[in-house]
Structure 1
Amino acid sequence: MNARGLTRRWHRLTLRGRLILIGSVGVAAGLALGGLILVRTLEFTLQRNLDEGAVGTARDVAGLVHAGRLSDPIPVGGGVSFVQVVDGRGRVTAASAGADRLVPMLGPGNLTSVRSGARLTVDGEQLGITGAVRVVGEPLPGGRTVLVAVSERGTAESIGVVKGTLLVAFPILVGLLAAVAWRVVGWTLAPVETLRRGAAEITGTSSARRLPVPAGNDEVHRLAVTLNDMLERLESTRRRQRAFVADAAHELRSPLASMRTQLEVAVRLDTPAPGAGSQPELLTDLLTDLNRLADLTNDLLLLARADEGALPPPAERVDVAALAKELAGRYAGARVPVQVEAPEARWVRGTPGALRQLIANLADNAVRHATTQVRVAVEDPGEGVLITVTDDGPGIAPADRERVFGRFTRLDDARARDDGGSGLGLAIVRELARLHGGTVTLADAGPGVRAEVRLPAADRV
């Protein structure tokens, strides 16, 4: 199977299956490596013990030769198979019972190697023994050598038993560990499956539901808490969008209905009905409604761009004191006088159009509800730039001073749909202040309300 086929099969496995497969392969590789080390260590140990026993027998026989007490046949024990004493010409001078007395167990080349201390493994058939034979030598004076042969059959059988045991035990052990790991991983992933089922049950109409949070303080618990927080934010955004759409539709319906009614009257009647107003008055009313509709559309577009983060960032130094003075002429014919106090230039980093609209929205709101006058001031309190717009109207209760920044929010005693306000002015002011890194708050002016906008001052050049 090619690599692509293996990749497809791998991706078809569940997470549980992948974890078990990886774990089983890792355990099998570890056991195989451990088994190999064990077998090699056992082979080395048994071989060393076998050599030490043979060398000990060879030295004992050499001691008997030195003492002149070597009997014939040579006595052997401790698992030694054969012993020969060979002279310098390769002739057998003494041997143990059963050993060949005519032919030495090693040829001339191997005999020379053994005399120099080498330990050889030879085929046991030449000695009449099944399996391999380990041969060691002990040199004697006069060129003689004591040769000791020990069968490796017992060692090979022991190693074979260990190998067979490992080959049978390791697969069983890997299978048992895989079965246990399957249950443990399944138990560990059970909360994840619960989260998946809970997420599958959440739809667009039931988004208020939340995912089950497992007990504990592990990664799955924190994941469930994070997902529920995300769902709460999404639901909050969804509620705001629904309210925004409903309020926008309601606001748009009023000027559209007014325009439709006036146009129907103009179409049905060649001459205005008594009390219906003259043609110029009709056009004036239509133009007023159109302006109101255009302003509302522009406000909705600005808020939508603010929600998407699409408003242009502050990019230039702007003198807000100069902007406030420019706006003073706009209110020359307002219902109450507007006084601007901005004696010195106050620089901030921003967008002129956005800052102009910020001040204008506050001034429009103040003019709409002031009793005798409105005061606009731009000053430097020591930390940034402070813009204040104060009116002497009915004021706003402390409990409502945060609520009025909501979109389409009007207070019953001071905000009416028919007075020209859309309920978006203060919401736009907050978004524009936030865009410029500032804040906006409302305070008591005793009587009236004072709107305070704090903006960071621009760096001096």
Structure 2
Amino acid sequence: MRWWSRLGLRGRLTLIAVAGLAIGLTLGGALLVFALQATLSRALDNSARDSGREVAALVRAGKLPDPIPAGERVATIQVVDRSDRIVATSAGADRLVPVLHADEIGAARGGQRFDVPGDRAGLATPLRVVAVPAGDETVLVAVSRSELTQSVGLVRNVLLVAFPALVAVLGLVAWRAVGWTLRPVEALRRGAEEIANAGSPASRLPVPATGDEVARLATTLNGMLSRLTASQQRQRAFVADAAHELRSPVASIRTQLEVAQRLGDRADWPDVAGDLLVDTERLSRLTEDLLLLARSADSDEAAARMARRAERVDLAALVTDVADRYETARVPVTALLDVPAEVHGDPAALARVVGNLFDNAVRHAETEVVASVSVQGDEAVVVVTDDGPGIPPADRDRVFDRFTRLDDGRARDEGGSGLGLAIVAELVAAHHGAVTLTAAHHRDRNVGGTGGPGLRAEVRLPLLPETP
């Protein structure tokens, strides 16, 4: 089948169409010839039977002439008795030997019809013989099959000549029609080639106005290209931001080392070591955050990985454990726990969510950070509130983007890398939850400070159903 694989799609479709047409026309032609032959044979039998009935009527009436008159289409008529002896014939017919043999005459009396050679009656054309009973005698009527043979042969020859020409014409039409049908596909191929040569999926494939399967395919491919473009842009932005963020601590470490090296013995090496340790810790946190975001780039894969590590987690106990780590923080962290709230998730990932929210709140709070855990309907709600400067409503969605830092959070020692809330959003989404930021309203019972408007970070996770 190598020749088949070498054919293009247009050639294969045309070949299939032509083969189907050829098979259909061949079967139709054979059926036509068969039906024509059956119809002409039936007409010939009826004509011979009608002539035989007329002669049989004369025999029964005792008025049979000799010779027996025959019609134009009748070749010969013979009347035989029970002993198969000829008692009367038409003009020119054999008076000694019947046109049928003895066994054939018996079968003909039972209604069977015979095709016999014409030389039995001294003729050159084949004959069709029909027997009609006439009392004790039997009338044998033989008619020529020449007209039937000529008609069927003429139709067969016409079909043998016309069918190949018709198949060729239909093949040419199919070739042009398939080419016209595949024209949108060729346009898609050229568009894809241009996009491949440009090296960027930003271009779009042409969408035909037909609304058919090809148009839907082009629309789907354009959607895929849009997602690829967005993914490529996110990847480039992520790499650029990551390189920028990594360059800052590395440059700081290099600068401090160069200055200390130039100072020599005059350098305060414990102070230099302390500064280097700060930059190294920042670089370590940034590397861990980048690794976590890289692992969670595929949300489906991240959700599957966390599902494998998921277990029953009490958010109240988890928030308490994480809050205990902030005993020496610059502002106190208070946990208000209403009731236990159990969810199904990865304990390490959920602890990372709470820890990032605490880090962000402690970094910006004026006097206090308050965390609470409650149950609302079928959801567990974790709220972390601070009394810091807050975030303007226009920026509350933007801060969940990677490497997004507002102006008040860009200091080297206190500012973050802009990945904390992005990691929170990724991990909460992997747990089928949602995170939102709103104003703190610090005068309520949650925050007793007197700082700025504050920020309220709320995480909602599906509550684990109670088990017996």
TM-score, with structure 2 as normaliser: 0.92
Q: Is the 8 A contact 1:124 1:130 kept in 2?
A: yes
The yes-or-no answer on 1:396 pairing with 2:391 is yes
Structure 1 window deviating more from structure 2 (20-29 vs 149-158): it is: 20-29
Structure 1 window deviating more from structure 2 (441-450 vs 406-415): it is: 406-415
Q: CA deviation at 1:417?
A: 4.8
Q: CA deviation at 1:289?
A: 1.0
Cα shift readout 1:363-420 (whole Å, capped 9, x = no counterpart)? 1111111122211111112331111111111111111110000000011244445524
CA distance in 2, matches of 1:128, 1:178: 50
Cα shift readout 1:181-229 (whole Å, capped 9, x = no counterpart)? 2111111110010000000011364321111111021111111111001
Q: Which runs of 5+ in 2 are unaligned?
A: 442-452
CA distance in 2, matches of 1:383, 1:83: 104
CA distance in 2, matches of 1:108, 1:327: 117
In structure 2, relative to structure 1, the CA distance for the partners of 1:378 and 1:67 (3 Å cut) is: same
Which among 31, 49, 53 is matched to residue 37 of structure 1? Answer: 31
The within-5 A match list for 1:253-272 is 253-272=247-266
Q: Is the 8 A contact 1:394 1:414 kept in 2?
A: no
Q: Secondary structure at the match of 2:383?
A: strand
Q: Is the 8 A contact 1:53 1:78 kept in 2?
A: no
Cα shift readout 1:330-352 (whole Å, capped 9, x = no counterpart)? 22222222221124322111111
| Structure 1 residue identity aligned to 2:195 | I
Q: Is the 8 A contact 2:425 2:435 kept in 1?
A: yes
The yes-or-no answer on 1:125 pairing with 2:156 is no
Q: CA deviation at 1:292?
A: 0.8
The yes-or-no answer on 1:76 pairing with 2:70 is yes
Q: Is the 8 A contact 2:68 2:91 kept in 1?
A: yes
Q: Is the 8 A contact 2:381 2:461 kept in 1?
A: yes
In structure 2, relative to structure 1, the CA distance for the partners of 1:344 and 1:139 (3 Å cut) is: closer
| Structure 1 residue identity aligned to 2:173 | V
CA distance in 1, matches of 2:4, 2:365: 73
Which among 202, 208, 227 is matched to residue 208 of structure 1? Answer: 202
Q: CA deviation at 1:119?
A: 1.5
CA distance in 2, matches of 1:347, 1:272: 58
What is the match of residue 3 of structure 1? Answer: none
In structure 2, relative to structure 1, the CA distance for the partners of 1:360 and 1:320 (3 Å cut) is: same
CA distance in 2, matches of 1:22, 1:107: 53
Structure 1 window deviating more from structure 2 (169-178 vs 432-441): it is: 169-178
Q: Secondary structure at the match of 2:325?
A: helix
What is the match of residue 459 of structure 1? Answer: 465
CA distance in 2, matches of 1:130, 1:370: 122
Q: Which runs of 5+ in 1 are unaligned?
A: 1-6
The yes-or-no answer on 1:295 pairing with 2:285 is yes
The yes-or-no answer on 1:165 pairing with 2:155 is no
CA distance in 2, matches of 1:211, 1:135: 75
Q: Secondary structure at the match of 2:372?
A: strand
CA distance in 2, matches of 1:353, 1:150: 103
The yes-or-no answer on 1:49 pairing with 2:72 is no
The within-5 A match list for 1:239-278 is 239-273=233-267, 278=268
CA distance in 1, matches of 2:109, 2:159: 39
In structure 2, relative to structure 1, the CA distance for the partners of 1:175 and 1:199 (3 Å cut) is: same
The within-5 A match list for 1:101-112 is 101-112=95-106
| Structure 2 residue identity aligned to 1:283 | A
Which among 378, 382, 389 is matched to residue 387 of structure 1? Answer: 382
Cα shift readout 1:222-255 (whole Å, capped 9, x = no counterpart)? 1111100100000000000000000001111111
Q: Secondary structure at the match of 1:458?
A: coil
Which among 145, 150, 164 is matched to residue 143 of structure 2? Answer: 150
The within-5 A match list for 1:318-357 is 318-357=313-352
What is the match of residue 368 of structure 1? Answer: 363
The yes-or-no answer on 1:185 pairing with 2:181 is no
CA distance in 2, matches of 1:54, 1:415: 114
CA distance in 1, matches of 2:82, 2:361: 128
Q: CA deviation at 1:112?
A: 2.4
CA distance in 1, matches of 2:462, 2:83: 110
CA distance in 1, matches of 2:108, 2:430: 94
CA distance in 2, matches of 1:327, 1:45: 98
CA distance in 2, matches of 1:362, 1:250: 24
Q: Is the 8 A contact 2:339 2:375 kept in 1?
A: no
What is the match of residue 450 of structure 1? Answer: 456
| Structure 2 residue identity aligned to 1:8 | R
| Structure 1 residue identity aligned to 2:288 | N
CA distance in 2, matches of 1:418, 1:214: 57
Which among 77, 90, 112 is matched to residue 96 of structure 1? Answer: 90
In structure 2, relative to structure 1, the CA distance for the partners of 1:106 and 1:383 (3 Å cut) is: closer
CA distance in 2, matches of 1:84, 1:344: 118
What is the match of residue 4 of structure 1? Answer: none
| Structure 1 residue identity aligned to 2:179 | G
Q: Is the 8 A contact 1:292 1:420 kept in 2?
A: no
Q: CA deviation at 1:436?
A: 1.4
The yes-or-no answer on 1:134 pairing with 2:128 is yes
In structure 2, relative to structure 1, the CA distance for the partners of 1:123 and 1:271 (3 Å cut) is: same
CA distance in 1, matches of 2:168, 2:9: 19
| Structure 2 residue identity aligned to 1:234 | L
In structure 2, relative to structure 1, the CA distance for the partners of 1:380 and 1:89 (3 Å cut) is: closer
What is the match of residue 307 of structure 1? Answer: 297
CA distance in 1, matches of 2:191, 2:21: 35
CA RMSD of aligned residues (A): 1.7
CA distance in 2, matches of 1:387, 1:175: 77
In structure 2, relative to structure 1, the CA distance for the partners of 1:327 and 1:139 (3 Å cut) is: closer
In structure 2, relative to structure 1, the CA distance for the partners of 1:383 and 1:89 (3 Å cut) is: closer
CA distance in 2, matches of 1:115, 1:333: 124
Q: Is the 8 A contact 2:252 2:279 kept in 1?
A: yes
Which among 53, 69, 79 is matched to residue 85 of structure 1? Answer: 79
Q: Is the 8 A contact 2:128 2:144 kept in 1?
A: yes
| Structure 2 residue identity aligned to 1:158 | S
| Structure 2 residue identity aligned to 1:298 | E
What is the match of residue 434 of structure 1? Answer: 429
